[in-house]
Amino acid sequence: MAEAIVAAAEEARPVRVDLIRRNRTLALCIAAAVFVLDQAVKWIVTNLLQLPERLTADWLPFFRLNWVPNHGVSMGFLTANGELQRWLLVALTAAICIFVAAWLWRERRRDDAIALALILGGALGNILDRVRLGYVVDYADLHFGDWRPFLVFNIGDAAITIGVLLLVLRALLTRERKAPREKV
């Protein structure tokens, strides 16, 4: 009996490793795609549309491009007012990226790997901005009249937000239930 269990486990292992490799490959491709798309749109907004000179460009009644060099992180927290703070912020966000990449590398669930890939790709795009420019290029301003549900953001920010929301939703909705305790 024990031999049959061991044999079944050994047969299942290659399939599981192959599945993990496919999930990892998919996730790394998604992270790379988010990074490239984020940087490409930032280049278009900065160079072709010349948003730094124009400062704003209305596109739709609920969407405009606004030039916002973001020297901090999300919602203006941890604003880097000098070179030392800038590089400390780069180090902090790089450490978070390393944590996310390690988590992604070990992740077995495809949906979590995709969410982590979104976070990683967006974070790497923002880190590159901060290293090259000293700030993150934010430009997307979604608004409904005077109501702005979001701060000005970029594709990397959107990917990070979507990735985090996917992780939280999955954790809340698919949480394993503990077995009820037996009464003594």
Q: What sign for the dihedral angle of Cα 11, 17, 22, 26? A: positive
The closest of 122, 69, 52, 64 to 93, measured between CA atoms, is: 122
Q: Give the phi and the psi of residue 66 in degrees, each rounded to 5.
A: -125, 130
Q: Which two tokens stand for residue 127?
A: 């880190």
Which amino acid, one-letter code, is at 174?
Answer: T
Angstrom distance (rounded) from CA 95 to CA 100: 9
Q: Give the phi and the psi of residue 78 in degrees, each rounded to 5.
A: 55, 50
112 labelled catalytic = no
Catalytic pick from 129, 138, 141, 146?
Answer: 138
141 labelled catalytic = no
Angstrom distance (rounded) from CA 28 to CA 123: 13
Active-site positions read 138, 157
